[in-house]
Structure 1
Amino acid sequence: MSEDLTRRTAAELARALAAGEVSSVEVTQAHLDRIAAVDGPVHAFLHVSDEEALATARDVDRRRAAGEDLHPLAGVPVAVKDVVVTEGTPTTAGSRILQGWVPPYDATLVSRLKAARLPILGKTNMDEFAMGSSTEHSAYGDTHNPWDLTRIPGGSGGGSAAAVGAYEAPLAIGTDTGGSIRQPAAVTGTVGVKPTYGSVSRYGLIALASSLDQAGPVTRSVLDAALLHELIGGHDPRDATSLPEPVPPLVAAARQGLTGDLSGVRIGVVTELNGEGYQPGVRARFDEALDVLRGAGAQVTEVSCPHFGYALAAYYLILPSEASSNLAKFDGMRFGLRVVPQDGPPTAERVMAATRGAGFGDEVKRRIILGTYALSAGYYDAYYGSAQKVRTLIQRDFAAAFDQVDVLVSPTTPTTAFKLGEKLDDPLAMYLNDVATIPANLAGVPGLSVPSGLSDDGLPVGFQVLAPARADDRVYRVGAALEALLEASWGGPLLARAPELTTEGSAR
């Protein structure tokens, strides 16, 4: 019974809960048991909130028994990336500098999860301050890919993707600055969505790059992602970048897509995101998925976005620049870690230097240095200013493309999950993993990654769908249609083909 509950999608669990077939306490306990059994080697979680999750589950069961009208997802457990602040629960952003910090307030999206009465299982591991593509830059140890424990689960939100992929949580929250929801989803065989910028509140997200960061869902089905996205989305007056409008009808779009009919939908294949550097198996699964979409009635054409080739370089100037500014508040004076130097007077400057030196990891220091340099008086126009001009050109490329097609598609990542440690000594090689996902963040448009099969190495491959800003419903319709048609040909979800984790956490 316990294993059966952890294998169900969130939508299936919601139906069972509403019908009284199972209680939220049973569902929540099943997932807590699963975490206890397999999370040691996977290391998806930094903090597990057993008592809090079960208390919420008991409250849901009591309210449902009393006939109270509840949210459709009430009682379905969720995991939250540790960059999202949670009142009374440790939030570290994967960094030593915030070790032991317990926030006094909730992020808006957490408030919405709690209001809908989803038991929060705990906080998931991540690259420090969301800087990384592999979850190897966490101060609290690596997260491992449930498909192969010797490989990375993607990053920076590898913890959320691994938790969903290992059946430790049916739903999870991630954040996406340059692909940190979609890229982990692709390499773990899960579904990940980056919403339109501003459509999900950033209030309570520990900022990396304020003009790029966006929270979104990580799930095992497109319908589950739509259900969670609709719950956390919508205007928030506490977020100055929040769009003053509701999210589109995402669940309805996903249900429409599940029919498998895409008649009249115009799909553009981005030439610049389908060239050299892609693993042969990744390319093969992408081409096969395009054939499936054609068979569903979609019109598939090739579209050029000529400035996408500059997106990676522009992103790695804009992001470090904003990060160097956002991380200035971690100074050892107000909250978090404080290191007092022993070799001289504890002046404010020396305490700050000692604290940041001890509290930040190498990747964070690397990006702070790069960003501070790019923002310096003599180089601002040459670097940061030029990168913002490129950003504008990329936004124009998207606008021109969406005049021709309804959605754009590409492989989510150029390769499958690589071995742990394989690229740690080569930051530039690591950055290239985000080449297909970064343009969406620079333009603020929504993007979805859905599993499209296994590469020749037996590891998952992701298919990316992009739509215009505020048209998130389009990615759900196309993503759900592709998911339904592929799963029909496979005989079930891709995750069902993953190696099983034993109670000791080893894959067999």
Structure 2
Amino acid sequence: MALFESRLQDVHNQLRSRELSVTELVDASYKRIAETDEAIKAFITLNEEGARRDAAALDKQLESGEERGLLFGLPAGIKDNIVTEGLLTTCASQFLSNYNPIYDGTVVSKLKAAQSITIGKLNMDEFAMGGSNENSSYFPTRNPWNTDYVPGGSSGGSAASVAAGQVYFALGSDTGGSIRQPAAYCGIVGLKPTYGLVSRFGLVAFASSLDQIGPLTKNVEDSAYVLQAIAGYDAKDSTSANVEIPDYTTALTGDVKGLRIGVPKEYLGAGIDPKVKEAVMNALKVYEGLGATWEEVSLPHTEYAIATYYLLASSEASSNLARFDGVRYGVRADNPDNLIDLYRKSRSQGFGPEVKRRIMLGTYALSSGYYDAYYLKAQKVRTLIKQDFEEVFQQYDVIIGPTAPTTAFRIGEQVGDPLTMYLNDICTIPVSLAGVPAISVPCGTADGLPIGLQIIGKAFDEQTVLRAAHAFEQHTDHHKLRPQL
């Protein structure tokens, strides 16, 4: 695990000086997985043979002195809804338990170009629908800080694996908070980029207007490096933004003097744990000490965000998941009476309860007679939420608040109450609806569990978000705390 505590540049220096080999890095990853994964269950599928083969090839490259990629030799985990050629991609669903893709998603191709090593595929809520990882059809992932608690979701396997030191970094996907919330619960850094900055080609779609891939790392600097590797225009993704990609690492100056911070009163009101609020207020004092200023602001349509999100996301899910019919790929039901019966049985057997719940909600919202009342109205409210952010950003550089209203909750505690579960995303969902970037960084603990600070920025201004996060990190020790498995 000590190897994975080192900064990326330090690891690369050790590789360059031959103090360390890529094979040793990969060995350390699988050794740590063998020691800890029985307890936390982060991985669904391991890529041991392929990873060791790739490591040997990179070690030969080291000997030859060839130019190395940005993430050279670093062991990475991939959320199991991002397709990987020749490596099972299940979305933690029984429906795709036999799905072996014949191509790589764009982000996987970019990681290969940057020469990182894919260690395996990480557990998640089925089809990314959930906030606790309890909706995986295989097994729940557990929080490394306390295995009686959830790691968050849907990228719970990604967050838990990084927090436990199994991989150097991981990729997750964020639709309504699924990178940031598990990062907060597991005490690591999670970045949701601006919608369109990172290609979604090869990401199994949940809600296409919201889904975004991003990194989960131990520190902000690593997050900047991984984002550098995966960001960029992709003609295969019709929603990919053709924008110039800056050098994100140049933003890590530690200087936030004059930074203007807006703090939404809606993010620190009713429902926010007092200990979480205290940690956020302490973080704002750190910023004050660094020369930044903050003021209370309002995002008045925040109260409508949960309802808006679940109408829109569920509607898009019902459309996207229509392709899973037991005919083209995935598991097929046995002995159907006819084609319609094949669809019905395959979908009934293949999807879990939460996926079915959202498909039914979304299909209802899109149905004749209800489209205008629900889906269309939700789209209009989404515009108002986006405008709230735009108005605040006219005067402020970043918006800061908690990532989640509480720390992680116990496994099984909320599984029978979907509405309470949904409310855990009250601070992250508005950001996703607006399509702007946000990062979660550790800012304290409560009762032995981590608290996350969310820093939100203007569209495509990841540099300011990373600068603010890095400055806070450099003047606190919260990111250095690690679970004792």
Please, what TM-score do these two structures have when normalized by structure 2? Answer: 0.98
2:467 to 468, 471, 477: 477
* SS in structure 2 of the partner of residue 309 of structure 1: helix
Q: Quote the residue 1:243 is aligned against.
A: 241
Partner of 1:438: 429
Distance 2:9 2:100 in 1: 32
Equivalent in the alignment of 1:256: 253
1:416 aligns with 2:407: yes
Work out whether 1:272 is the aligned partner of 2:269. Answer: no
1:304 positional shift:
0.9
How far the C-alpha of 1:249 sits from its partner, in A, is 2.4
Q: Deviations over 1:399-443 (max 9, x none)?
A: 100001000011000000000000000000000010000011111
For 1:152, the equivalent position in structure 2 comes to 150
Q: Determine the C-alpha separation between the residues in 2 that align with 1:414 and 1:237.
A: 38
Stretches of structure 2 lacking an aligned partner (at least 5 in a row): none
Between 82-91 and 277-286, report the one with greater CA deviation.
Answer: 277-286
The residue number in structure 1 matching 2:390 is 399
Task: Tell me which residue corresponds to 2:11.
Answer: 13
d(CA) in 2 for partners of 1:56 and 1:71? 13
Residue identity over aligned pairs, in percent, reads 50
Do residues 184 (structure 1) and 182 (structure 2) align?
yes
Q: Indicate yes or no: 2:60 matched with 1:62.
A: yes
Q: Is residue 356 from structure 1 mapped to residue 347 from structure 2 by the alignment?
A: yes
Are residue 370 (structure 1) and residue 361 (structure 2) matched?
yes
Question: Greater shift after overlay, 306-315 or 325-334?
Answer: 306-315
Distance 1:198 1:322 in 2: 17
C-alpha separation in 2, matches of 1:357 and 1:363? 12
What is the number of residues matched between the two proteins?
A: 485
* Counterparts of 1:287 and 1:173, CA distance in 2: 30
| Aligned counterpart, 1:505 | none
Any conservation in 1 of the 2:195–2:437 contact (CA below 8 Å)? yes
Q: CA deviation at 1:36?
A: 1.0
Structure 2 counterpart of 1:308, from 302, 307, 323: 302
State the partner residue of 2:201.
203
Q: Which residue in the other structure is 1:172 paired with?
A: 170
In 1, the alpha carbon distance for the partners of 2:367 and 2:134 equals 30
Distance in 1 (alpha carbons) for counterparts of 2:30 and 2:99:
23
SS in 2 for 1:148: coil
- Asked if 1 retains the 8 angstrom alpha-carbon contact of 2:40 and 2:142, the reply is yes
- C-alpha offsets along residues 243-262 of structure 1, whole Å, 9 cap, x if unaligned? 11233321111x213xxx21
Structure 2 distance, partners of 1:186, 1:246, is 30
SS in 1 for 2:424: helix
* Displacement after TM superposition at 1:6 (Å): 3.4
Distance 1:39 1:465 in 2: 31
- Please give the alpha-carbon distance, in whole angstroms, between the structure 1 residues aligned to 2:188 and 2:332: 39
Equivalent of 1:214, from 207, 212, 215? 212
Decide which of 323, 329, 341 is 1:329's aligned counterpart: 323
Aligned to 2:111: 113
SS of alignment partner, residue 281 of structure 1? helix
Q: 1:17 & 1:178 partners in 2: Cα distance?
A: 38
Contact 1:10 1:171 in 2 (8 A): no
CA distance in 1, matches of 2:12, 2:425: 34
For residues 117-146 of structure 1, what are the alpha-carbon distances to aligned partners after superposition, in whole Å with 9 as ceiling and x for unaligned? 111000000000000000000000000000
Matched, 1:495 2:485: no
Q: Report the Cα offset of residue 51 of structure 1.
A: 1.2
| TM-score, normalization by structure 1 | 0.94
CA contact 1:79–1:160 (8 Å) conserved in 2:
yes
Q: Secondary structure at the match of 2:476?
A: helix
Q: Deviations over 1:159-184 (max 9, x none)?
A: 00000000001100000000000000
- Does structure 1 retain, via aligned residues, the 8 Å contact 2:153–2:182? yes
RMSD: 1.1
Deviation, structure 1 residue 11:
4.0
Measured after TM superposition, the shift of residue 21 of structure 1 is: 2.2
SS at match of 2:451: strand
Asked if 1 retains the 8 angstrom alpha-carbon contact of 2:70 and 2:229, the reply is no
Q: 2:451 is matched with which residue?
A: 461
Distance (Å, rounded) in 2 between the aligned partners of 1:175 and 1:16: 31
User: Could you tell me which of 35, 38, 59 is aligned with 1:37?
Assistant: 35
